[in-house]
A and B are shown apart, each in its own frame.
Chain A
Amino acid sequence: MRARSLTSLASQLLLRHGLVAWPLVRMIFALALLMTLSPPLPVGGGVSLGVIGFSVAVAMIAISRRGERVLLANLGVDVAQQVLLLALPALLLELLLGMLLGLIAGEASAALSA
């Protein structure tokens, strides 16, 4: 389960779990922040790391609930490899979100200065 097998079926399963967990965690974060009257979509070091960590935790719970822990172990996928593959979508999506929000902020300040 090295990089060469990032496209393997087991890796795809883990990436899918990570992909599903991220929006869920982001939504919970946004709701929690809205309740404290803070901006709902903060990005950056600490927050993004927190979101990635929670996403991995949520995905691990989903794996456990769906009875896939034994399946993955019998496929030879270590817990460390699972964490890595589950974190990957959240990491990429956090980067994308950061870039998107940066772009929007840039556009907004350009519009304001014009």
Chain B
Amino acid sequence: MLVADSIAMHFGDRRVLSAATLRAMPGELRVLLGRSGAGKSTLMKVAAGWLAPDSGIVRLGDDVRLRWSPAALARGGVFYLPDDGALGSALPIRQQLAMFAERYPGGDAPEAAMERLGITHCADMPPHRMSGGEQRRADVAAVFVRRPRVLLADEPLRGIAPIDQERILEAFRDLARAGAAVVVTGHDVEALLDGADHVTWCTSGTTYELGAPARARAHEAFSREYLGRA
């Protein structure tokens, strides 16, 4: 379990988060929703060790720290998938997946992961030669080779075709069913709510645990202020 608890964060004069909490729970696919600029990506970066918060703690299992390095969290089983991709742009996908297989034995074989995500034909290409959807699927293939305990995916469905979105969400659901804690952000609300076990709403610098998607849809303030329904 990974918890970024009571996180406060500011950039210059702007306070982005005042008391936000992100929880990644084993066996659950959680979605973190909120308007642009609400602080979702900032909270994900704090949880992944890429930003040091003004206050708050990050807890991985029983290990509580004020400040983690991304590599230390990664060694503890966290995989961070940023919105611009987790793989380098220059090396072929096969080579990058082989790095994960070598470093973290026990996950899916690179070939099997590429086949699962339907990117076998891209194996010898660097990501910059692939389409946006293929790049995202390559990132997810790396997740399956790594088989992390916790996956933090920041807007993994952005700008890709619905069929790719479905494939990626299905892969995340498989990962959660296998016991991993998965947290996903994004604005593809219907797709995300359909696949999620739990919804967290990030707004006004804080977070609200809304529970299952059905409860979230019925939440008055969430419906009115985020979903845009009367």
Q: Interface on A for B, CB 8 Å cutoff?
A: 8-10, 13, 66-68, 70-79, 81
Contact = CB atoms under 8 A, between A and B. Distances in A.
B69 A74 contact: no
The winner among A9, A66, A78 for most chain B CB atoms within 10 A is A9
Interface string B163-204: 000000000000000000000000000000000000000000
In this complex, the interface size class of chain B, counting residues with CB under 8 Å from chain A, is 20 to 34
21 contacts: A8-B102, A8-B103, A9-B98, A9-B103, A10-B103, A13-B99, A66-B89, A67-B84, A70-B82, A71-B96, A71-B99, A72-B71, A73-B70, A74-B79, A74-B100, A74-B146, A75-B74, A75-B103, A76-B75, A76-B103, A81-B71
Interface in B20-44: none
B58 interface: no
Interface string B81-103: 01011111111000110111011
A29 B146 CA distance: 42
Given A70-B80, A71-B99, A76-B74, 17 more contacts: A8-B103, A9-B95, A9-B98, A9-B99, A66-B90, A67-B84, A67-B85, A67-B88, A70-B82, A70-B85, A71-B88, A73-B50, A73-B71, A73-B74, A75-B74, A78-B69, A78-B71
B88 A66 contact: yes
A70 B153 CA distance: 13
B86 A75 contact: no
B72 A70 contact: no
Contacts of A74: 70, 74, 79-80, 86, 100, 142, 146
B99 A10 contact: yes
A10 to B, nearest CB: 5
B71 A76 contact: yes
Contact of B91 (A13, A73, A79): A13
B145 to A, nearest CB: 11
A68 B90 CA distance: 9
A70 B103 contact: no
Interface string B42-86: 000000011000000000000000000111101100011010111
Closest 6 CB pairs of A and B: A73-B70, A68-B88, A76-B75, A78-B71, A9-B99, A76-B74
B86 A9 contact: no
A75 B80 CA distance: 11
Contact of B86 (A13, A66, A70, A76): A70
Interface in B106-163: 127, 142, 146
Contacts of A77: 71
B156 to A, nearest CB: 13
A41 B85 CA distance: 41
